[in-house]
Chains A and B, each alone.
Chain A
Amino acid sequence: MSEITAEQVAHLANLARIDLSSAEIDRLTVELGQIVDSVARVAEVATPDVPATSHPMPLTNVFRDDVVVPSLTVDQALSGAPDRAGDKFRVPAILDEE
């Protein structure tokens, strides 16, 4: 059985950069516990002799010719940004006050 705690969910939310309310954390703690208990069954058949598959149709070394092709203009690249400063994305402070 998984033992998902509210503290764990709060930590995961911080890792995932989602500012969950305490009500959301409480609900997710219960739901996550139920889901994890259910999906943990994969361990029953995942024995050491079975190789892992990450990709259904494995391809390796996918390259293209090294030629310049048209790409987005600066204005196109910035067209969806919530905020910009000239030719750059404008962001809030990266570091807080300390």
Chain B
Amino acid sequence: MTSLINQTAAALAGLLADGSVSSVDVTRAHLDHIDAVEPDVHAFLHVARDAALATAARVDARRAAGEKLGPLAGVPIAIKDVLATHDMPTTSGSKILEGWIPPYDATVVRRIRDADLIPLGKTNMDEFAMGSSTEHSAYGPTHNPWDLNRIPGGSGGGSAAAVAAFEAPLALGSDTGGSIRQPAAVTGSVGVKPTYGGVSRYGAIALASSLDQVGPVTRTVLDAALLHDVIGGHDPLDSTSLTDAWPSMTAAAQAGLADGALKGVRIGVIKELNGAGFQAGVKQRFEETLALLSAAGAIVSEVSAPNFEYAVSAYYLILPAEASSNLARFDSVRFGIRVNPEDGPLTSERVMAATRDAGFGDEVKRRIILGTYALSAGYYDAYYGSAQKVRTLIQRDFAAAFDKVDLLVSPTAPTTAFKFGEKTEDPMAMYLNDITTIPANLAGIPGMSLPMGLAPEDGLPVGLQVMAPARADARLYTFGAAVEQLLEAHWGHTLLSQAPALANIEMFATEGGAV
């Protein structure tokens, strides 16, 4: 029996459009399931139950009145807490913004509302998106639906866990060094980091402005494409927004389902992202996927990106430098909490310092101090200046690779989901976990993660990362949809259908109604 919560967004959109179900039914089924599994998963920081049902009822009424609605109208969606929402608290996972309700919506939030999607709530994340596990959230970690003792990835672990645990068919994420793709990999879901500038950053609480990009978090490639089409495109409120006329990502994904879509596609395997330090089961599933691609007519070859070995180092100079500047806005004056020092005079400067000590977590302090160091006089050229040069070298590596191939592939993450606490005591170990995803952010190119199986040794999801040249996001969707179809035909099922049942799922699946 299939319940409403197990449907893809595309399938729900079809059922809503032909009147088989109402948006209120779909929304209530997800809210009930959220109530059932949140004690275990903790994907959400805020659930907007009443507002979601009211919005759904309005969409149903407009549809009943014969109004022509968008393709995802009435479909529920979860929103990463990094995105400003005028009617829900927005904390970016930090105590310093506890309870803050922004006076405006992020552009992507505005666009999903205009397209009549139903916001369910705000999802958990590492504080200010700094982390790969959600363990740095000030509100406690999110648990991986595949194994509640393991991390759901980060920083967008809440959004990935929400879709993987069937709490929402769609979610929004943000990806600065892998925060959409790595959580997708470790939860068996799909995540896309668009081309830098392809999706507006207006109203996304900035981490590192030259790296941040908002994108879709879903269970299928087609669903990601449908959501990309809603949120993408030029926004005059974001000065880094590209003015390109983008093709339909939905049409691109549908093209991938055609026979022979993989024939003759040139796939490059990045030598530097396929070696030591990768878990055996990750390598095994990657090799098997490459073999399937070859058998389907793709031309697989190895390419080298020699400067990728410097990517993590460059990233952990550029990101803290930009973050230390962006987070200066938390000054205890305009928004967020204010904490007075325990003694001494109450000057603005001392109140600001006491507020930031109380409001920021350890990882945020670590990166602000590191960024302040990297930007300080006498060190700027050696650190930040050199890191910017590495960025050029990495762009050149990508350019050389894309001269030879259409797409690049690697495992999305070196390992499957690790256990809580495994890397929190060693910041560099946590940082090195991002080696596979960081290069795309440094170069601004689009990247996708989709499931490519379960590692035999632990039964946990493994992700395939696909990267395309800047502005070629549509190519990712065509290829991604083709690979997804190929793998699911090979397995005989979707990957997420293999996830263990969470408490009370059966009861609520029945209440949600069969279709």
Chain A interfacial positions (CB closer than 8 Å to B): 4, 8-9, 12-21, 24, 28, 31-32, 34-36, 38-47, 50-57, 59, 62, 64, 72, 76-77, 79-83, 89, 91-97
Cβ of B395 to closest chain A Cβ, rounded Å: 6
- Check A80/B100 contact, CB under 8 A, given A40-B382, A50-B389: yes
Contact A16 B341 (CB under 8 A): no
Q: Which of B51-59, B60-68, B234-242 contacts A (4 or more CB under 8 A)?
A: B234-242
Q: CA of A13 to CA of B360 in the docked complex: distance in angstroms? A: 13
Cβ of B222 to closest chain A Cβ, rounded Å: 27
- Check A20/B389 contact, CB under 8 A, given A41-B313, A80-B102: no
Contact A19 B357 (CB under 8 A): yes
Residue ID in chain A nearest B338 by CB atoms:
A82
Q: CA of A8 to CA of B378 in the docked complex: distance in angstroms? A: 13
- Check A72/B210 contact, CB under 8 A, given A31-B427, A93-B345: no
Contact A57 B313 (CB under 8 A): no
Residues of A contacting B391 in the complex (Cβ-Cβ under 8 angstroms) = 52-53, 56
Contact A96 B347 (CB under 8 A): yes
- Check A56/B395 contact, CB under 8 A, given A28-B365, A42-B314: yes
Q: Does B366 contact A (CB under 8 A)?
A: yes
From 331 to 357 in chain B, residues with beta carbon under 8 angstroms from any chain A beta carbon are: 331-338, 340-341, 345-354, 356-357
Residues of A contacting B341 in the complex (Cβ-Cβ under 8 angstroms) = 19
A46-B386, A51-B389 given; name 8 further pairs at CB < 8 Å: A17-B331, A19-B353, A46-B385, A50-B392, A52-B391, A56-B211, A57-B240, A93-B348
Q: CA of A93 to CA of B340 in the docked complex: distance in angstroms? A: 12
Q: CA of A28 to CA of B382 in the docked complex: distance in angstroms? A: 21
- Check A93/B101 contact, CB under 8 A, given A32-B369, A57-B444: no
Contact A28 B366 (CB under 8 A): yes
Q: Does B393 contact A (CB under 8 A)?
A: yes
- Check A15/B388 contact, CB under 8 A, given A57-B444, A59-B240: no
Residues of B contacting A45 in the complex (Cβ-Cβ under 8 angstroms) = 307, 310, 389-390, 393
Contact A42 B310 (CB under 8 A): yes
Residue ID in chain B nearest A15 by CB atoms:
B372
- Check A16/B324 contact, CB under 8 A, given A45-B390, A76-B103: yes
Q: Which of B328, B362, B383, B392 contacts A52 (CB 8 A)?
A: B392
Residue ID in chain B nearest A43 by CB atoms:
B386
Q: Does B45 contact A (CB under 8 A)?
A: no
From 419 to 455 in chain B, residues with beta carbon under 8 angstroms from any chain A beta carbon are: 427-428, 431, 441-445
Residue ID in chain B nearest A13 by CB atoms:
B369
Which interface residue of A35, A39, A41, A62 has the most chain B CB atoms within 10 A?
A39
Q: CA of A18 to CA of B470 in the docked complex: distance in angstroms? A: 38
- Check A41/B310 contact, CB under 8 A, given A46-B390, A51-B392, A57-B240: yes
5 A-B pairs (CB sep. < 8 Å) = A13-B369, A19-B341, A35-B427, A46-B390, A57-B470
Contact B385 A59 (CB under 8 A): no
Cβ of B369 to closest chain A Cβ, rounded Å: 5
- Check A28/B101 contact, CB under 8 A, given A19-B353, A56-B395, A81-B334: no
Contact B428 A34 (CB under 8 A): yes
- Check A18/B334 contact, CB under 8 A, given A12-B372, A46-B386, A72-B103: no
